[in-house]
Amino acid sequence: MNSDVRQLTNHELLRSACLIGGEWVVGRGEDWIEVLNPSTGGTITTVPRLGALEAEQAIEHAVTAGKKWSRVPATERSALLRRWFELVRAHEEDLAILLTLEQGKPLAEARAEIRYAASYIEWFAEEGPRCYGDVIPSADPHTRQIVIRQPVGVCAAITPWNFPSGMVTRKVAPALAAGCSIIVKPAEQTPLSALALAFLAERAGIPAGVLQVITGPSRAIGAVLTSSQDVRKLSFTGSTEVGRLLAAQCAPSLKKLSLELGGNAPFIVFKDADLERALDGVMQSKFRNAGQTCVCTNRILVQREIHDEFASLLAARVQDLRVGDGFSDGVEQGPLIDKAAHDRVQSLVDDAVAHGASVLCGGEPHSASPLCYSPTVLAQVSSGARIARDEIFGPVAALYAFSDEREAIELANSTEYGLAGYVYTRSLARAWRVSEALECGMIGINAGLISSASVPFGGIKQSGYGREGSRYGLDDYTELKYLCMSALDSEL
């Protein structure tokens, strides 16, 4: 057993089987995926490598269980979700340990993610019973027009490795609250958090088949989930490239889709901004999770007059970040998820330098462990460098200079992505103007940390569509049904 696993208080949370139809299964027990600790490279445990057959079985269970679940009153579903929320909070420390083990983020960040994950369950437990319809006035006095919301049906969720708990509950909680059943396929690198959450959901009394988790190769399982006529909705968080592929695979069965895809967030600092606040914002929005979040600042656009001062103040903070194993005291940045991610970040830095960027700190692998990358600040980056177009997904802050508001907006919008954007200014008028002009689904105004269960998370352009969290996030798991009630003039 991996030594860090011994820190767990409740060893039942470490699952090496999948939850399908209310049973913990391993398939034929012949094929396994090794789950690695990115900090040490060691194996934590194995989970089954299931495939098309088990995915089909899960869909059958989801259809049967989903029909019953949709008829459970929303208040009862809410009570079960609340129980699940309480169990997640009660097991916060163990869930955080599992998260740090498989994902690498510092334990303090993992604890915050578990609270964040739990907040989605709590939010949707409360929001489910408020899934209102509408009455639309009719031109005909003998007719009433009513709109009701009904669960979309069987859902599938393909979740990423960067937030292995938060992205599961952000999809599962609204699905369950709305009366849908859901099958989760977690990322191969981080299945343990999803399995532990499913274990607690089962303990909370969520009925068999309503929430299922299947581990295995994305291609085989994804092909079944996307092609099935019985699966009525797919929610995916991941790259734009894979999102496009899934959308194409879902097209023949005309599934409802929520796609939370890549980003290239601009972070605009005007010369009238509170610089200390802007620096705090960059630290939060760039270096959280070692820069591996979809809403991470990707391009820091700084007004020319303050560019050099801002760059050196930022470098002073960044070079103090403590890097290492997420379990070590005081560590603020863990490893990247795998070697491919590490090599990609290095190649983006090399390309930026080749295009004239100056390295104020970092710019190279970190000695703490093979997957750690040094927190990096690059100044005077050229907009022709690859790092200006590609999602960095690593701890590299790239600064660009701009002259005026018009140029800032033009630069900020010169990307195919449109997830998050950030604006720092003391001018209320400018904050409004720039926020309205930015082509993004979410804007932080003098704020670097913008996510919460109560707000709609999602993007536009090639960052996808659909919203998660908030009352809008519940809508995404429902269908509208219009009832036309006529002949109210005659007694039936």
Where in 141-200 is the site for ligand SIN (CB under 6 A)?
162-163, 166
**Torsion from C-alpha of 344, 349, 351, 357, nearest 10 degrees:** 160
Range in contact with ligand SIN (rule: CB under 6 A) among 32-40, 46-54, 148-156, 291-299: 291-299
Q: Give me the least distance between CB of 201 and ligand SIN, in Å please.
A: 20
DSSP 72: S
Could you tell me where the DSSP H helices lie in 254-404?
Answer: 275-287, 304-318, 339-354
- Burial call 447-475: b when 16+ CB within 10 Å, e when fewer: ebebbebeebbbbebbbbbbbbbbbebbb
Residue 236 has φ and ψ, to the nearest 5°, of -130, 135
Tokens encoding 144? 């009433």
Our CB check for ligand SIN shows the closer of 66 and 281 to be 281
Q: Give me the least distance between CB of 292 and ligand SIN, in Å please.
A: 8
**Count of residues that bind ligand SIN according to CB under 6 A:** 9
Does the annotation count 294 as an active-site position? yes
Site string for ligand SIN, 75-94 (x = CB under 6 A): --------------------
Tokens encoding 228? 């099935």
Of the candidates 18, 180, 250, 294, the residue annotated as catalytic is: 294
Ordered DSSP codes for 395-448: SEEEEEEE-SHHHHHHHHH-SSEESEEEEE-S-HHHHHHHHHHS--SEEEES-S
Our CB check for ligand SIN shows the closer of 78 and 463 to be 463
Residue 311 as a binder of ligand SIN (CB under 6 A): the answer is no
Tokens encoding 199? 């274990």
Q: Give me the least distance between CB of 452 and ligand SIN, in Å please.
A: 9
Our CB check for ligand SIN shows the closer of 52 and 112 to be 112
Q: Give me the least distance between CB of 449 and ligand SIN, in Å please.
A: 8
Residue 237 as a binder of ligand SIN (CB under 6 A): the answer is yes
Our CB check for ligand SIN shows the closer of 51 and 160 to be 160
Tokens encoding 99? 């998260």
Q: Give me the least distance between CB of 419 and ligand SIN, in Å please.
A: 8
Does the annotation count 131 as an active-site position? no
Q: Give me the least distance between CB of 113 and ligand SIN, in Å please.
A: 9
Among all residues, whose Cβ is closest to ligand SIN? Answer: 451
Residues 6+ apart with CB under 8 A from 378: 349, 352, 353, 357, 358, 359, 360, 363, 387, 396, 397, 398, 399
Q: Give me the least distance between CB of 430 and ligand SIN, in Å please.
A: 25
Alpha carbons 366 and 362: distance in angstroms, whole number: 8
Judging by DSSP bridges, how do beta strands 144-151 and 478-485 pair with one another?
antiparallel
Among 451, 463, 470, 478, binds ligand SIN (CB under 6 A): 451
Among 40, 240, 293, 425, binds ligand SIN (CB under 6 A): 293
Among 17, 172, 295, 337, binds ligand SIN (CB under 6 A): 295
Our CB check for ligand SIN shows the closer of 312 and 452 to be 452
> What one-letter code names the amino acid at 88?
V
Of the candidates 54, 109, 260, 468, the residue annotated as catalytic is: 260
Q: Sign (positive/negative) of CA torsion 343, 348, 352, 358?
A: negative
Instruction: Decide: helix, strand or coil at residue 154.
Output: strand
**The residue to which tokens 């981080």 are assigned:** 190
Site string for ligand SIN, 382-421 (x = CB under 6 A): ----------------------------------------
Active-site positions read 260, 294
User: Applying CB under 6 A, which residues contact ligand SIN?
Assistant: 162-163, 166, 237, 260, 293-295, 451
